[in-house]
Amino acid sequence: MQADGEDRRAQLRAAGLRVTTPRVAVLNAVAAQPHSDADRVAATVREELGSVSTQAVYDVLRAGVGAGLLRRIEPAGSPALYETRTGDNHHHLVCRKCGAVADVDCVVGQSPCLQPCDDQGFAVDEAEVVFWGLCPPCQS
Confidence band, pLDDT 50/70/90 cuts, at residue 1: very low
User: What is the average pLDDT across 108-128?
Assistant: 72
* 18 shares its domain with 77: yes
pLDDT number for residue 17:
95
Q: Which domain holds residue 119?
A: 87-139
pLDDT 10s digits, 11-32: 999 999 999 999 999 999 999 9
pTM (2 decimals)?
0.86
Shared domain check, 94 and 77:
no
Angle between helical axes of 54-66 and 38-49 (0-180°, round to 10) = 110
DSSP string, 75-108: -TTS--EEES--SS--EEEEETTT--EEEEPPPS
∠ CA 63-66-105, rounded to 5°: 120
Among candidates 24, 27, 127, which has minimal Cα distance to 73?
Answer: 127
CATH number of domain containing 33: 1.10.10.10
Residue 17 sits at the vertex; the CA angle it makes with 38 and 30, to the nearest 5 degrees, is 30
- Region 69-95 average pLDDT: 92
CATH code, domain with 104: 3.30.1490.190
CB 43 within 8 A of CB 29: no
For residue 56, give every residue at least 6 positions away whose Cβ sits within 8 Å of its Cβ, in sequence order, or none: 22
Domain boundary pick from 67, 82, 97: 82
